[in-house]
């Protein structure tokens, strides 16, 4: 009998609980219906005041007409390049007006995006300059960066595929940096990001912050030939490279390098190769310096000659991050959006190197008449950090060691030496 009474009591308690729950839901719904928005958008963020007082409507025209140098400083590119970008991107970032509101002008979208890339300012701060809500800016930046990649990537970042194209790259390294048969310099850099939710240590790197990794192959003119922005912060250079399509093409010979041929003023065939550092395994297609311990004079000269060519990738990263300073701070976006922004920055860098090469002269390392290095202006600023130099599984091959020894002898011979190399070590 007690069990029956207890069961009936429990049923009554449950019914009362359900009634109370439904009552609470009803009250909450009524409160939601009663709470109406006071305005669709804050007046100072509206279209009229944006066109009257926003940076794109007021400041940018003044800079364009009165102070092109400040226009360049504001967007990190000249007015003519801004116009070229707007002309090419307009069909991809234009939205239709609706009866509720007028679509945001494509020029405003491009200006907001370029200013974010150039300064790294937070969206919450930029909304006061351009009079756009920060959540709208987040959508705009992603949209415009995607359009930049879609429109320009295949045009400005073409990785060579034929022997003739690779020969042209190698001639650039021989002509500018006295390293024959070099088809590019390879390296990786960390780009700091905010820790993504529930990511654990996936993006945590050996320097103690969270990042994604940009790995790139660069030609003698500081242009990016190939990039991989899929690496997570915990990964080393070797891990990213070993999982990349570049390594696969190099190892199976499908990359399209020219067949081995003699170095200048020599008679022994030498394969074409990339320039790397200690993070990569020594291969016939990947030359790197000798380890910096107990080096002979000949080895130091070899290291100097190889480093002359490999330095271009360090310069390219420095110029990229100095111009697009969003890469210097901690990016607040999710990793996929951060990767898209990095890719867009690389496309803009290459476009400038191709169409506006004089814009970067002061930023580049260069040599004086005595071949001493004059540091470029990018070195005065903070830069992205190198990827960790350990953690790889590569082992140098016997053939690659023989090839490196031959290059060492060549760089120290009458046929392959340069007059100033002895005083550089």
Instruction: Kindly report the three-state secondary structure assignment for every residue of the chain.
Output: CHHHHHHHHHHHHHHHHHHHHHHHHHHHHHHHHHCCCCCCCCHHHCHHHHHHHCCCCCHHHHHHHHCHHHHHHHHCCCHHHHHHHHHHHHHHHCCCCCCCCCCCCHHHHHHHHHHHHHHCCCHHHHHHHHCCCHHHHHHHHHHHHHHHHHHHHHHHCCCCCCHHHHHHHHHHHHHHHCCCCEEEEEEEEEEEECCCCCCCCCCECCCCCEEEEEEEEECCCCCEEEEEEEEECCCCHHHHHHCCHHHHHHHHCCCCCCCCEECCCCCCEECCEEECCCCCCCECCEECCCCCCCCCHHHHHHHHHHHHHHHHHHHHHHHHHHHCHHHCCCECCCHHHHHHHHHHHHHHHHHHHHHCHHHHHHHCCEECCCCCEECCHHHHCCCCEECCCCCCCCCCCHHHHHHHHHHHHHHCCCCCCCCCHHHHC
Residue 391 has pLDDT above 50, yes or no: no
Average pLDDT, stretch 214-236?
A: 93
Alpha carbons within 13 angstroms on the beta-carbon side of residue 286 total 25
Q: Above 80 in pLDDT, residue 275?
A: yes
Query: Under a CB-based contact definition with an 8 Å cutoff, are residues 417 and 411 in contact?
Result: yes
Lowest mean pLDDT among 144-158, 325-339, 368-382: 368-382
Q: How confident is the model at residue 23 (pLDDT cuts 50, 70, 90)?
A: low
Task: Count other C-beta atoms under 10 Å from residue 44's C-beta.
Answer: 11
Please state, for a pLDDT cut of 90, what percent of the chain lies above it. Answer: 63
Confidence of residue 425 (pLDDT cuts 50, 70, 90): confident
CA distance 293 to 133: 57
Tell which wins on pLDDT, 46 or 360.
46
Mean pLDDT, residues 152-178: 94
- Where residue 16 falls among pLDDT bands split at 50, 70, 90? low
In this prediction, residue 32 carries a pLDDT of 60
Q: Which two tokens stand for residue 105?
A: 């002008």
| pLDDT for residue 47 is more than 90 | no
Q: Give 114's Cβ-side CA count (13 Å radius).
A: 28
Say if residue 356's pLDDT is above 90: no
Average the pLDDT over 1-28 and give the result: 54
Confidence of residue 363 (pLDDT cuts 50, 70, 90): low
| Mean per-residue pLDDT, 235-262 | 91
What pLDDT, on the 0 to 100 scale, is given for residue 98?
Answer: 82
Band the pLDDT of 13: cuts 50, 70, 90: very low
Q: Which of 169-178, 308-317, 351-360, 367-376 is predicted least confidently? A: 367-376
pLDDT in tens, 50-82: 888 888 989 999 999 999 999 999 999 999 999
pLDDT on residue 392:
47
pLDDT at 383: 61
Lowest mean pLDDT among 15-19, 65-69, 90-94: 15-19
Please tell me which residue, 5 or 126, carries the higher pLDDT value.
Answer: 126
Please report the pLDDT score of residue 390 as a whole number: 46
Ordered by start, the domain boundaries in the chain are 43-154, 163-424
Mean pLDDT across the chain: 85
Contacts with 314 (C-beta within 8 Å, 6 or more apart), sequence order: 187
pLDDT score of 52: 80
d(Cα 248, Cα 245) in Å, to the nearest integer? 5
The pTM score is 0.83
């Amino acid at each position: 009998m007690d069990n029956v009474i207890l069961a009936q009591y429990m049923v009554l308690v449950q019914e009362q609980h359900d009634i109370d729950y439904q009552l609470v839901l009803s009250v909450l719904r009524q409160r939601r219906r009663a709470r109406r928005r006071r305005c669709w958008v804050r007046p100072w963020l509206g279209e009229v005041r944006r066109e009257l007082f926003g940076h794109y409507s007021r400041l940018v025209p003044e800079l364009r007409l009165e102070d092109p140098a400040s226009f360049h400083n504001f967007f990190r590119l000249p007015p003519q390049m801004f116009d070229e970008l707007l002309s090419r991107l307009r069909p991809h970032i234009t939205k239709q007006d609706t009866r509720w509101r007028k679509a945001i002008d494509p020029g405003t979208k491009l200006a907001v995006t370029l200013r974010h890339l150039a300064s790294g300012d937070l969206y919450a701060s930029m909304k006061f300059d351009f009079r756009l809500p920060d959540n709208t800016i987040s959508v705009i930046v992603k949209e415009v960066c995607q359009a930049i990649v879609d429109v320009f990537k295949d045009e400005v970042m073409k990785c060579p595929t034929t022997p003739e194209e690779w020969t042209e790259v190698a001639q650039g390294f021989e002509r500018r940096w006295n390293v024959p048969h070099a088809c590019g310099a390879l390296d990786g850099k960390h780009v700091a990001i905010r820790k993504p939710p529930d990511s654990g240590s996936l993006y945590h790197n050996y320097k103690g912050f969270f990042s994604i990794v940009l790995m790139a192959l660069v030609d003698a003119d500081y242009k990016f030939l190939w990039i991989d922005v899929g690496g997570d912060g915990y990964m080393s250079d070797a891990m990213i490279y070993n999982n990349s399509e570049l390594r696969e093409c190099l190892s199976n010979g499908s990359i399209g390098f020219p067949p081995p041929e003699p170095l200048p003023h020599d008679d022994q065939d030498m394969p074409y190769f990339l320039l790397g550092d200690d993070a990569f395994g020594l291969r016939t297609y990947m030359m790197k310096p000798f380890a910096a311990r107990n080096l002979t004079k000949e080895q130091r000269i070899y290291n100097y000659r190889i480093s002359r060519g490999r330095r271009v990738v360090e310069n390219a990263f420095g110029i990229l991050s100095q111009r697009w300073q969003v890469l210097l701070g901690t990016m607040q976006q999710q990793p996929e959006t951060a990767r898209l922004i990095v890719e867009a920055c690389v496309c803009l860098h290459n476009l400038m190197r191709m169409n506006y090469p004089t814009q970067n002269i002061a930023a580049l390392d260069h040599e004086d008449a005595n071949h001493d290095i004059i540091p470029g202006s990018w070195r005065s600023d903070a830069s992205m950090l190198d990827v960790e130099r350990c953690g790889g599984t590569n082992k140098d091959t016997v053939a690659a060691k023989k090839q490196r020894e031959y290059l060492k002898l060549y760089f120290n011979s009458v046929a392959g030496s340069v007059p100033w190399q002895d005083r550089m070590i």
